[in-house]
Copies of this chain bind each other. A is one copy, B any other.
Amino acid sequence: LVLQERARATRESIIFGAAKVFEERGYGTSSISLVAEEAEVTKGALYFHFKSKDELARAVVEEQHVIVVRAGEGILEQRGTALSTMIRLCAEFGYQLATDRIVRAGIRLTLEASAFGHKVRDPYEDWTRTMVDLAERGMQAGHIRTSIEPDALARYIVASFTGVQMVSNVLTGREDVMARIQQMWEILLPGIMHEDSTEDVHHLVDLVPKRWNGQDFVLPASA
């Protein structure tokens, strides 16, 4: 139906506008009117699709969630060693953060979750679980040291990635995320790879792409 098609477009436009505003200002200092303006939609239309500011924020987070999960599943379906999958997941997520406004907005909102009513732990726990699985697989395959607890490793990788991405955001607006992700793994790998592993650190690290959108990654500025 034509109407529904238009409605879909409106909804999408609203979500995109909301992502822009939320990303820049966070939940609290954003306003519905600004979103409406940014999305070139009247407030009436906005309130037809989302019945509160809260729900709008939730919709952005939801949208981010499906984007990220879909991409993650794509990676998980490819086969490859556990370590390479871990790295590819981080690279993919970093790429999304660098390029997709909705993902960035979703992350910011998730972080400020206390400002509106949002369950925030699920995504962290989901992702950690995935990492635990991979860690265990990597140990069974003899690629990852068994002196480390898989739980602890998974938790740390998730936290570490979170920090890398956030600091990159604060300092460069995420222009240098990809390079930072590479460096994260360069430092991490020697400590977690099994000493007998046949995998090569450099080769693994190169799973983080060197170019993006046809342009080279920005390198982190020296402090």
Chain B residues with CB under 8 A of A148? 186-187
A125 at the interface (CB under 8 A from B): yes
Assess whether A26 is in contact with B25, with CB atoms less than 8 Å apart: no
Bound CA span A190–B113, Å? 35
Residue of B nearest to A30 (CB): B28
Assess whether A180 is in contact with B155, with CB atoms less than 8 Å apart: yes
A4 at the interface (CB under 8 A from B): no
A188 at the interface (CB under 8 A from B): yes
Q: How many copies does the complex hold?
A: 4
Residue of B nearest to A191 (CB): B191
Bound CA span A24–B112, Å? 10
Assess whether A166 is in contact with B25, with CB atoms less than 8 Å apart: no
Given A26-B28, A124-B170, A191-B188, are A112 and B114 neighbors across the interface (CB < 8 Å)? no
A13 at the interface (CB under 8 A from B): no
A190 to chain B, nearest CB (A): 4
Chain B residues with CB under 8 A of A191? 187-192
Assess whether B222 is in contact with A186, with CB atoms less than 8 Å apart: no
Q: Which 3 A-B pairs have the closest CB atoms?
A: A28-B28, A191-B191, A163-B163
